[in-house]
């Protein structure tokens, strides 16, 4: 979230699921968000309400028609479906590191060139940048990959070829 890692305290009974007084079932999204105090908190949308900007969805609660706190106080008729993305082993194992294709503005004689990468900015702490490196080099471009958790990583690149 925001390009960095945050500690999250264990929370029980944190989000209230909205009642449904309509004649159709509805959905409540349970999500986590960053408070102004810099703490991760959990909340739920209103019935069929949108996910707030910057929030991360954790689960969806399907609330049947006519379901209220009075007739179902323990949510026994509500179906909660886990929808959070899981990355087992994170941060030690990254299954899909951020990668972008970088075209060269000219075709080089071969792929035996050197790419120097300098990180000039990012969202998140400096340690979240991880390694930023070139892979899959071709004569006309390469892929740039970061192993970190930072968002919006800005880099300065210098490509040098021994024959040029």
Residue 148, exposed/middle/buried by CB under 10 A (0-12, 13-18, 19+)? Answer: buried
d(Cα 31, Cα 10) in Å, to the nearest integer?
Answer: 14
Within 10 A of 44 (CB to CB), how many other CB atoms are there?
A: 19
**pTM of this structure:** 0.56
Per-residue pLDDT of the chain (164 residues; tens, 9 = 90+): 666 666 677 777 777 899 999 999 999 999 999 888 888 889 999 999 999 998 989 999 999 999 999 999 989 999 999 988 776 665 555 566 788 999 999 999 999 999 999 999 888 767 777 889 999 999 999 999 988 877 788 999 999 999 88
């Amino acid at each position: 979230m925001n390009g960095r890692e945050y500690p999250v305290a264990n929370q029980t009974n944190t989000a209230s699921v909205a009642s449904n007084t309509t004649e159709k079932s509805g959905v409540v999204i349970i999500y986590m968000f960053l408070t102004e105090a810099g703490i991760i908190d959990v909340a739920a949308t209103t019935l069929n309400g949108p996910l707030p900007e910057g929030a991360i969805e954790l689960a969806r609660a399907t609330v049947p028609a006519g379901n209220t706190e009075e007739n179902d106080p323990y949510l026994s008729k509500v179906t909660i479906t886990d929808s959070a993305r899981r990355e087992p082993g994170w941060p030690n194992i990254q299954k899909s590191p951020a990668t972008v294709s970088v075209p060269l503005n000219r075709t080089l004689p071969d792929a035996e060139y050197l790419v120097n990468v300098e990180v000039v900015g990012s969202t998140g702490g400096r340690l979240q940048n991880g390694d930023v490196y070139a892979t899959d080099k071709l004569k006309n471009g390469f892929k740039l990959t970061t192993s970190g958790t930072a968002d919006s990583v800005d880099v300065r690149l210098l490509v040098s070829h021994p024959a040029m």
